[in-house]
């Protein structure tokens, strides 16, 4: 179902006009209200030709948010703020984001569109197992579901046996959480001896962390659902910046009437061509409290401008391959945890839990892939290492650890751990 056909299937020439109008609005709004933007944007008066100069505006990064912590980029008087959230970043100072009433309505709107694209219908029920709190996942999905006319079970993350009980008792058609938590829920369901046929689930709305096609197939099978990928980040709004449609499950539609998309080469900063992987750069087109102009997300994607079978006319971004700052360098070769996942999970004898551990001495670090085997299975670790080497071009030892050893995630999974010896 398309929630807002007028916007979501808009002719691209008209969309471009709308983006031009909204970019102008954003630029003026930000320049007049935030000294940071006043310094970096050209003076007003050149609005009619915004696309001629917009691509010369300097990029922003998370560091700009940190430098202006907590509210230096706020573009509205404090009393107009209706909500704060904070990014989940583990490094350095957190970054705080703010929303006006209008911003919250826009956010609910894009999440409503997302849930409809995922295949959910008004009148159905969503069990929302994203964490509620400063993280945008819980409240973001919640508001959007209500906007679409869905009843919400605000389960939040954790208490996994209770999650299973709620799935059985309240019969939701949808489950939203991180893919790693969905896996843990599926595992708990099996451990509790629950017959999957008793569930009413048909849709999984999974995101907030990188995951692979192999993981999708596993989750779909184990939960008896169709799973789609939802993307977003607190700096831009939260979940609902982009989502896959249930029809194609092939790339995430960006809601381009609210978010302007660019992809750049993270080294040269030159624009990437369609299909080329680069860093996603986003500009908000209607946000009042904290507009973001040319924000470098750190997320690596490619853009697909081809029409989609679902009828939406927006461009699609690929799954996030990884973040520029999550890239692992193993003996000079760049690899992302999600690429390792994609290869590993092709092995049916493994559970889908895995972890990557840096071991050895810091002068000669070694990345070990830890996996768990299915009960009584004896996966061939040498063959897995070989497959990883063939696909990723680097040798990674694979170690099978006892079932239950790898920590289960209730939110964003921690894929990489450091066990290097500290002695010199
Ligand atoms: O994770 C918002 C969100 C909540 C998205 C629920 C989807 C579902 P942050 O905590 O600010 O916001 O983290 C944003 O998470 O820059 C990506 O690196 C990563 N991320 C988000 N969605 C995906 C996804 C939320 N579908 C950061 N695939 C982003 C891969 C994702 N990575």
Q: Domain locations in the chain?
A: 1-323, 328-418
14-41: pLDDT as tens digits: 999 999 999 999 999 999 999 999 999 9
Going from the Cα of 5 to the center of ligand 1, the distance in angstroms, rounded, reads: 26
Residue 94, pLDDT score: 81
Query: Cis (ω within 30 of 0) for the bond into 105?
Result: no
Q: Cα separation of 378 and 414, whole Å? A: 25
Going from the Cα of 295 to the center of ligand 1, the distance in angstroms, rounded, reads: 15
Residue (of 52, 206, 215) closest to 115 by Cα position: 206
What residue's CA is closest to ligand 1, atom 13?
Answer: 233
Q: Cα separation of 161 and 85, whole Å? A: 28
pLDDT at 45 over 80: no
E-assigned strand segments in 20-150: 83-86, 96-99, 125-128
CATH of domain 1-323: 3.40.50.12780
pLDDT at 118 over 60: yes
The mean pLDDT of 225-230, rounded to a whole number, is: 98
Residue 103 phi/psi, 5° resolution?
-65, -40
Going from the Cα of 234 to the center of ligand 1, the distance in angstroms, rounded, reads: 8
Residue 90, pLDDT score: 60
Going from the Cα of 266 to the center of ligand 1, the distance in angstroms, rounded, reads: 19
What is the enclosing helix (H) or strand (E) of 297? strand 295-301
Note whether 381 and 411 are within 8 A (CB).
no
Query: What are the tokens at 346?
Result: 């092709």
pTM value is 0.97
Residue (of 348, 362, 354) closest to 415 by Cα position: 354
Ligand 1: atom nearest CA of 205 is 8
Ligand 1: atom nearest CA of 230 is 26
Q: Cα separation of 108 and 92, whole Å? A: 29
The mean pLDDT of 148-169, rounded to a whole number, is: 98
pLDDT at 240 over 60: yes
Which amino acids bring their CB within 6 angstroms of ligand 1? 87-88, 130, 135-137, 207-210, 229-234, 238-239, 297-299, 320, 323
Matching CATH number, 328-418, of 3.40.50.300, 3.40.50.970, 3.20.20.140, 3.30.300.30: 3.30.300.30
Helices (H), 68-152: 101-118, 136-148
| Mean residue pLDDT across the chain | 95
Going from the Cα of 55 to the center of ligand 1, the distance in angstroms, rounded, reads: 25
The mean pLDDT of 290-309, rounded to a whole number, is: 97
197-208: pLDDT as tens digits: 999 999 999 999
3-state secondary structure of 322: strand
Look up residue 318 and give its DSSP letter.
P
Ligand 1: atom nearest CA of 135 is 10
Q: Cα separation of 179 and 184, whole Å? A: 9
What residue's CA is closest to ligand 1, atom 30?
Answer: 210
pLDDT at 160 over 80: yes
> Which residue, chain included where needed, has tokens 């992809």?
263
Residue 92, pLDDT score: 67
**By percentage, how much of the chain surpasses pLDDT 90?**
94
């Amino acid at each position: 179902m398309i929630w807002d056909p007028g916007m979501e299937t808009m002719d691209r020439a008209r969309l471009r006009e709308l983006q031009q109008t909204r970019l102008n609005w954003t630029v003026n709004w930000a320049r007049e209200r935030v000294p940071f933007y006043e310094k970096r944007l050209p003076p007003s008066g050149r609005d009619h030709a915004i696309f001629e100069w917009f691509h010369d505006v300097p990029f922003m990064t998370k560091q700009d948010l940190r430098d202006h912590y907590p509210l230096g980029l706020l573009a509205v008087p404090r009393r107009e703020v209706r909500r704060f959230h904070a990014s989940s970043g583990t490094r350095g100072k957190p970054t705080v984001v703010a929303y006006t009433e209008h911003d919250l309505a826009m956010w609910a709107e894009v999440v409503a569109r997302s849930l409809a694209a995922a295949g959910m219908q008004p009148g159905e029920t969503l069990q929302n197992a994203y964490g509620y709190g400063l993280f945008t996942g819980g409240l973001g999905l919640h508001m959007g579901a209500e906007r679409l006319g869905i009843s919400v079970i605000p389960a939040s993350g954790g208490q996994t046996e209770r999650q299973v009980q709620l799935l059985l008792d309240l019969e939701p058609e949808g489950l939203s959480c991180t893919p790693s938590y969905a896996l843990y829920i599926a595992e708990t369901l099996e451990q509790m001896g629950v017959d999957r046929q008793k569930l009413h689930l048909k849709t999984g709305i999974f995101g907030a962390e990188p995951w692979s096609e192999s993981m999708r197939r596993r989750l779909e099978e184990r939960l008896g659902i169709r799973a789609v990928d939802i993307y977003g980040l607190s700096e831009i709004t939260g979940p609902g910046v982009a989502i896959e449609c249930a029809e194609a499950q092939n790339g995430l539609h960006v809601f381009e009437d609210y978010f302007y998309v660019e992809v750049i080469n993270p080294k040269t900063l030159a624009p990437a061509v369609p299909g080329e992987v680069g860093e996603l750069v986003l500009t908000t087109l209607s946000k009042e409290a904290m507009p973001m102009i040319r924000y470098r997300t750190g997320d690596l994607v490619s853009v697909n401008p081809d029409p989609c079978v679902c009828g939406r006319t927006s461009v699609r971004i690929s799954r996030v391959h990884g973040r520029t700052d999550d890239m692992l360098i193993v003996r000079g070769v760049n690899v992302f945890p999600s690429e390792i996942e994609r290869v590993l999970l092709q092995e049916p004898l493994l559970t889908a839990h895995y972890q990557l551990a840096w071991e050895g001495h810091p002068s000669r670090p070694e990345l070990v892939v830890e996996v768990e085997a299915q009960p009584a299975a004896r996966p061939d670790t040498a063959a897995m290492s070989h497959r990883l080497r063939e696909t990723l071009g680097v040798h990674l030892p694979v170690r099978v650890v006892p079932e239950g050893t790898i920590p289960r995630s209730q939110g964003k999974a921690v894929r990489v751990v450091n066990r290097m010896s500290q002695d010199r």
